[in-house]
């Protein structure tokens, strides 16, 4: 079955029943955007969680959450 799917993906001609190149690129780009949005929301929730439950930045766990959230926000903001 995977061999048949590989043949369909590599056969980019719509007339022969293959998957078009545009649909493959569309699905891949949607997957990348979905992963970026979910990870951005996760970072936002983690940073909000660290501000609510660890308001003292001197604590190592709160400082770790704030630092990791700010780094990931910067990284994801660059790509979004």
The average confidence (pLDDT) of the chain is 69
10 Å Cβ neighbour count for 29?
10
Number of domains in the chain: 1
Domain extent, residue 23, equals 2-79
Region 19-33: what's the mean pLDDT?
78
Helices (H), 11-58: 21-53
Confidence of residue 56 (pLDDT cuts 50, 70, 90): low
Region 62-74: what's the mean pLDDT?
71
Query: Cα 53–76–59 angle (5° rounding)?
Result: 25
């Amino acid at each position: 079955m995977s061999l048949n799917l590989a043949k369909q993906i590599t056969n980019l001609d719509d007339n022969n029943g293959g998957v078009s190149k545009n649909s493959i690129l569309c699905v891949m780009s949607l997957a990348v955007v979905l992963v970026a949005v979910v990870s951005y929301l996760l970072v936002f929730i983690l940073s909000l969680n660290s501000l609510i439950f660890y308001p003292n930045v001197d604590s190592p766990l709160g400082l770790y959450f704030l630092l990791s959230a700010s780094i990931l926000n910067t990284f994801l903001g660059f790509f979004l």
